[in-house]
Amino acid sequence: MTLSVKRQVALQSHHTLGCPASTEYWVEVRSLSELTKAVQYAKSHQLTLLPLGGGSNVVFTQHFEGLIVKIAIQGKQIVAQQNGQVIVEAGAGESWHQFVCWALQQGLSGLENLSLIPGTVGAAPIQNIGAYGVELKDVMESLWAFNQETEEIKQFSVDECQFGYRESIFKQPDSPWIIAKVAFRLNTEFQPKLHYYPLSQLLADKPVTPELVSDTVCYIRSSKLPDPSVLGNAGSFFKNPVISQAQLKAILQSYPEVPHYPAANDQVKLAAGWLIERCNFKGQYLGEVGVHDKQALVIVNKGMGTGSEVMALASQIAEKVSEQFGIELEVEPRVY
């Protein structure tokens, strides 16, 4: 089967920010065989290759000169069961939220706190998606990724993925890996994770089930995060900064109300949205792009805002937060 490579493809409908952009070459792959051919095509034509999932964590600031490979590998199945735990495999092109719903329908728990996160199964490990007290690394068993350079496929354990806060080995700029399939370790016996206060508050005095947790997470997300199909956005635009105890002490002197949470290695995580809101950016626009009026961590695009305008606003925000709090914000989406 020959690849169907297209030229001059508009990207506005292929990423959730919806900025006008285009790519010189585009191909959709539905199998490992097609992915191999796409990599070979890029090599033979000396093209930069960019794998793309749901486009929910990316900003395009200009025309992409290379080959964008849309990962559309489907399929999900239960492959093993033992002692109340079940191993489930899913293709990288599966919708993340639809996969979460499917797992719940199978009577499997573990993913419910990660409901309604946009994107695909294959993109989830790249930034170690996380929400409401659960990260992808907590539920992943292993994954299979294709090496663009050697054209070999390798199975990665959780440790080999080098997961961190919104980080993994696959997010490095020079990573040759394209994720093809992910395996998850889920439970037949429900073990609720309700450490996140608004979640536990909403579920207080209720008989908690995985479905109820999922529905509640969807309710919380929908109440404060805009639907990308209605208002273009890439979700949280900045990472929540992790700082030292000494830095926190200094900030608390001026801002005793700053929300802060324990992080690894005796560090502290701050709410980036709160910092941005205190700098008076909430609801503010720069042309067609602006800061969402319900969640300051989200940059939105009203329609025809460009990626360059998005990044210009992001730079203004980062500069003001640095000036006011002495904290450097880090952009979460990948920028091209």
Could you tell me where the beta strands, DSSP code E, fall in 6-138?
6-10, 22-29, 49-52, 58-59, 64-71, 76-82, 85-91, 130-131, 134-135
Give the Å distances, CA to CA, from 182 to 15, 68, 163, 173: 22, 21, 15, 21
DSSP letter at 83? T
Q: Which residue has the tokens 């695909």?
A: 120
Query: Which of 62, 57, 99, 61 is CA-nearest to residue 77?
Result: 99
Query: Which of 250, 269, 239 is CA-nearest to residue 326?
Result: 250
Contact (Cβ atoms closer than 8 angstroms) between residue 289 and residue 313: yes
Tokens (6 digits) for 26? 């585009």
* Catalytic pick among 166, 168, 214, 309: 166
Query: Which of 265, 255, 270 is CA-nearest to residue 327?
Result: 270
Tokens (6 digits) for 114? 């990660």
* Catalytic pick among 89, 115, 236, 309: 236
- Our answer to whether residue 328 is catalytic in this structure is no
- Our answer to whether residue 221 is catalytic in this structure is no
- Our answer to whether residue 323 is catalytic in this structure is no
DSSP letter at 179? E
* Catalytic pick among 28, 322, 332, 334: 332
Q: Please give the positions annotated as active site.
A: 166, 236, 332
